[in-house]
């Protein structure tokens, strides 16, 4: 038998430095914990500084890995600059950036949608990933390389009629993924996870009929558990995906959507 690659080594993240925006809750929290359990040092960034600090303590207590909490607003250009500098200055490198922060607030109607809210939604979901990826992707490309993982939404390709600015921003994130995969090649890989319905804390506010509808529209007959994002995140962050770039991976239980 010829000697092959140890699959376990492909997913080993020992001493990699990984930034996760929106990392204190939901899918971001699951990714932070998974990366640390695989040996990574993590930067937990979100608007809720206290939640970042609490999770950082949990990470270090459980895994022994270093965790840096940073209060951060993805829609603010200066916050992106500060986060990039803080992480790089503290660890001396960044190997993986996960642009997970997002928001999709309700609005009364399209005509009543305010400019302020529109700018906020586009800022968090698109401007922040652009700025962070530009800064850190450039440094990665000048150094030893790395991986950028964007997190979009099924709204990017199957838009609903009640989250239009959000869907437009996530569609832009798909474009950003493809263009930056080319811009930072060959040393930096840029990919995107496109989640469907996941039962995070946000889903607690969903109407009952929406949750019941998942049983009909999703072949797996349910929404995803937050921990079910881990496999895809580990794949794109690690050497297991060394020949994958410019990819948009749909993780939605095989959901069937109405024609756009």
Which among 24, 152, 153, 238 is annotated as catalytic? 152
- The two structure tokens encoding residue 104: 């999709």
Alpha-carbon dihedral 62, 42, 28, 10, rounded to 10 degrees: -90
Find out whether 175 and 230 touch, Cβ atoms under 8 Å. no
- The two structure tokens encoding residue 242: 């060394």
Find out whether 41 and 17 touch, Cβ atoms under 8 Å. yes
Does the annotation mark 204 as catalytic?
Answer: no
Which among 24, 170, 235, 241 is annotated as catalytic? 170
Residue 242 DSSP class: T
- The two structure tokens encoding residue 131: 């700025």
Find out whether 114 and 217 touch, Cβ atoms under 8 Å. no
Does the annotation mark 166 as catalytic?
Answer: yes
State the Rg of the chain over Cα. 18
Task: Tell which phi-psi region holds residue 197, choosing left (phi > 0), alpha (psi between -120 and 50) or beta.
Answer: beta
Cα(191)–Cα(180) distance, rounded to whole angstroms? 9
Does the annotation mark 46 as catalytic?
Answer: no
Per the document, the length of the chain is 260
Cα(257)–Cα(21) distance, rounded to whole angstroms? 28
Which among 166, 235, 238, 241 is annotated as catalytic? 166
| Residues designated as active site | 152, 166, 170
């Amino acid at each position: 038998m010829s000697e092959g690659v140890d699959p376990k080594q492909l997913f080993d993240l020992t001493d990699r430095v990984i930034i996760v925006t929106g990392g204190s809750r939901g899918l971001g929290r699951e990714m932070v914990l998974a990366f640390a359990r695989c040996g990574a040092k993590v930067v937990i960034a979100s608007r809720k500084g206290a939640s970042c600090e609490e999770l950082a303590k949990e990470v270090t207590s459980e895994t022994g890995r270093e965790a840096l909490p940073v209060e951060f607003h993805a829609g603010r250009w200066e916050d992106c600059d500060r986060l990039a500098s803080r992480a790089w200055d503290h660890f001396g490198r960044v190997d993986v950036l996960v642009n997970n922060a997002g928001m999709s607030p309700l609005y009364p109607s399209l005509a009543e949608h305010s400019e302020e809210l529109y700018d906020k939604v586009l800022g968090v979901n698109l401007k922040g990933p652009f700025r962070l990826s530009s800064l850190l992707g450039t440094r990665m490309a000048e150094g030893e390389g790395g991986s950028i993982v964007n997190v979009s939404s099924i709204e990017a390709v199957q838009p609903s009629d009640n989250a239009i600015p959000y869907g437009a921003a996530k569609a832009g994130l798909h474009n950003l993924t493809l263009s930056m995969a080319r811009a930072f090649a060959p040393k930096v890989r840029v990919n995107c996870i496109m989640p469907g319905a996941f039962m995070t804390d946000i889903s607690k506010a969903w109407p009952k009929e929406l949750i019941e509808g998942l049983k009909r529209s999703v072949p797996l007959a349910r929404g995803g558990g937050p921990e079910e994002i881990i496999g895809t995140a580990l794949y794109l962050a690690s050497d297991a995906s060394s020949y994958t770039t410019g990819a948009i991976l749909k993780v939605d239980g095989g959901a069937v959507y109405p024609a756009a």
